[in-house]
Amino acid sequence: MDYDSFLDFYRDVIDNTAIKTFTLAQELYELYRMSYFMCNWEKNPLFFDDGTYDGFSALSMALGMKDAGSKGILISVDNYGSNGYQYDGIGLDGVKRECSKYPELIKYIDFIKSDDLNYIRTLSSNSLSFAFIDSWHEYDHVKKTLLAITPKMKSNLSMLCGHDYSWSECGVVRAVDGWREVNKTKLWAFGNSIYSIWYSVIREKQ
């Protein structure tokens, strides 16, 4: 799907649902493309969306899965404000209701109410093909998230990425740069877009 077609989807969500997002349309398109790419690599992947908010990142990832003909599953986790984070979204019931306006996308998504670190600890090692980190942006939390999720990423090939790699006062840049330094032997590629998505391709040397 080209960017113009993605924008039609983006506008449809904004115009016809209660879903809001802090993530730019260009960034959601990047998420779509990375998701599509990973589904072409692996047909039954497990994807992870850390920080559902109203579900827009999850829908964009699911669109990539659909367009690639994937049989994968996307787990989208949010604690919906139960840790004191100022959540002002539509809540888990609202997310399920609004995203079900896209039945061909929601069928990929399992929306779960949980603290992200607690949920990540339940995942099997070497199980995730793709993960997008966009929950609490405070340095310690991003650092702990990256530490917890790295062993869960598939070491033969997976993509780990996140939002707000520009928001240095909140700690995302420092946490991601520290993680990158420690894990450099596992990284095949690392980059950041002209917007604020950072991404890495994990491929450990065999």
Ligand X SMILES: C[S@@+](CC[C@H](N)C(=O)[O-])C[C@H]1O[C@@H](n2cnc3c(N)ncnc32)[C@H](O)[C@@H]1O
Give me the residues that bind ligand X (CB under 6 A), please: 21-23, 51, 53-54, 56-57, 77-81, 83, 85, 87, 89, 115-116, 134-136
CB of 119 to ligand X, least distance (A): 8
CB of 130 to ligand X, least distance (A): 14
Closest CB to ligand X among 137 and 186? 137
Closest CB to ligand X among 53 and 165? 53
Closest CB to ligand X among 119 and 186? 119
CB of 55 to ligand X, least distance (A): 7
Read off φ and ψ for residue 184, nearest 5 degrees: -65, -25
Closest CB to ligand X among 56 and 102? 56
CB of 23 to ligand X, least distance (A): 4
